[in-house]
Amino acid sequence: MGIGLSKATPTAAPAAPPPASRQPLWSDLPTDLAGVVLLRLPSHADRVRFGSVCRQWRHAATTAPPPLPPALPWLNFHDGTLQSFPGGERRRFSSLNRHTICAGSTAAGWLLFRRPGHGPRRRHYLKNPLTGEVVRLPGHCHCDDPSRLRRHHPPGSPTAYFYIRKVIVCGGGGLVVARISYSHDNADDVVACCRPGTSPSWSAGP
Amino acid sequence: MATGSGAAAAAADAEEKESGSRMITLTSNEGKAFVVTEASARQSATIRSMVDDGGCVDKGFPLPNVDSKTLARVIQYCDEHGNKEAHTVDERAALAKFDKDFIAELDADKAFLYDVTMAANYLHIQGLFALTTQCIADTIKGKTPEEIRTAFGIEYDLTAQDEEEIKEEDTHA
Q: Which chain A residues are within 8 Å of B55, Cβ to Cβ?
A: none
Burial class (CB in 10 A: 0-12, 13-18, 19+), A174: middle
Q: Which chain B residues are within 8 Å of A33, Cβ to Cβ?
A: 117-118, 121, 133
CA of A76 to nearest chain B CA: how many angstroms apart? 22
Number of domains in chain A: 2
Cβ separation B171–A172 shorter than 8 A: yes
Kind plus residue range of the DSSP H or E element containing B94: helix B89-107
Burial class (CB in 10 A: 0-12, 13-18, 19+), B149: buried
Q: Which chain B residues are within 8 Å of A36, Cβ to Cβ?
A: 129, 133
Q: Which ranges of B45-159 would DSSP assign to H, the alpha helix?
A: 45-52, 68-83, 89-107, 110-122, 126-140, 145-152
Q: Give the one of A15, A46, A170 whose C-beta lies nearest to B141's C-beta.
A: A46
**Are A57 and A114 part of one and the same domain?**
no
Q: Give the one of A7, A40, A58 whose C-beta lies nearest to B137's C-beta.
A: A40
**Are A79 and A54 part of one and the same domain?**
no
| pLDDT of B36 | 95
Please indicate if any CB of chain A lies within 8 Å of the CB of B112.
no
**Are A47 and A138 part of one and the same domain?**
no
Each residue's pLDDT, cut to its tens digit, for chain B (173 residues) gives 444 444 455 555 555 555 556 899 999 999 999 999 999 999 999 999 988 887 666 778 899 999 999 999 999 999 999 988 888 999 999 999 999 999 999 999 999 999 999 999 999 999 999 999 999 999 998 888 999 999 999 999 998 888 887 776 654 44
Cβ separation B149–A40 shorter than 8 A: no
Q: Which chain A residues are within 8 Å of B50, Cβ to Cβ?
A: 5
CATH number, domain with residue B21: 3.30.710.10
Helix axes B126-140, B110-122, angle to 10 degrees: 140
CA of B136 to nearest chain A CA: how many angstroms apart? 7
Please indicate if any CB of chain A lies within 8 Å of the CB of B118.
yes
**Are A179 and A85 part of one and the same domain?**
yes
Number of domains in chain B: 1
Residue-range definition of the domain harbouring residue A163: 74-204
Please give the residue of chain B at the shortest CA–CA distance from A41.
B137
| pLDDT of B109 | 95
**Are A112 and A179 part of one and the same domain?**
yes
- ipTM for this prediction: 0.83
**Are A47 and A145 part of one and the same domain?**
no
As a whole number of angstroms, the distance between CA A53 and CA A56 comes to 8
Mutation target for B interface from A26, A59, A195: give the one with most B CBs within 10 A: A26
Q: Could you tell me if residue A6 is inside a domain? A: no
**Are A105 and A195 part of one and the same domain?**
yes
Q: Could you tell me if residue A184 is inside a domain? A: yes
Q: Could you tell me if residue A21 is inside a domain? A: no
As a whole number of angstroms, the distance between CA B64 and CA A5 comes to 7
Please indicate if any CB of chain A lies within 8 Å of the CB of B111.
yes
Q: Could you tell me if residue B122 is inside a domain? A: yes
| pLDDT of A47 | 83
**Are A104 and A191 part of one and the same domain?**
yes
Q: Could you tell me if residue B20 is inside a domain? A: yes
Mutation target for A interface from B126, B157, B167: give the one with most A CBs within 10 A: B157
**Are A100 and A134 part of one and the same domain?**
yes
Cβ separation B59–A55 shorter than 8 A: no
Cβ separation B64–A40 shorter than 8 A: no
As a whole number of angstroms, the distance between CA B165 and CA B148 comes to 19
**Are A58 and A80 part of one and the same domain?**
no
Bond before A73 cis per omega within 30 degrees:
yes
**Are A129 and A150 part of one and the same domain?**
yes
Contact call for residues B28 and B66 (beta carbons, < 8 A):
yes
Each residue's pLDDT, cut to its tens digit, for chain A (206 residues) gives 334 443 333 444 444 444 445 567 999 999 989 999 998 887 777 887 898 999 999 988 887 655 565 554 556 666 666 655 444 456 565 555 555 666 666 656 677 877 766 555 557 888 776 566 788 888 888 877 767 776 667 777 777 778 787 888 876 557 888 888 877 666 678 888 888 878 788 888 77
Q: Could you tell me if residue B32 is inside a domain? A: yes
**Are A172 and A79 part of one and the same domain?**
yes
Contact call for residues A28 and B116 (beta carbons, < 8 A):
no
Local structure of A104: helix, strand or coil = strand
Residue-range definition of the domain harbouring residue B69: 16-141
Q: Could you tell me if residue B96 is inside a domain? A: yes
| pLDDT of B104 | 97
Cβ separation B141–A10 shorter than 8 A: no
Q: Which ranges of chain A would DSSP assign to H, the alpha helix?
A: 31-39, 44-50, 55-63
Please indicate if any CB of chain A lies within 8 Å of the CB of B56.
no
Please give the residue of chain A at the shortest CA–CA distance from B47.
A5
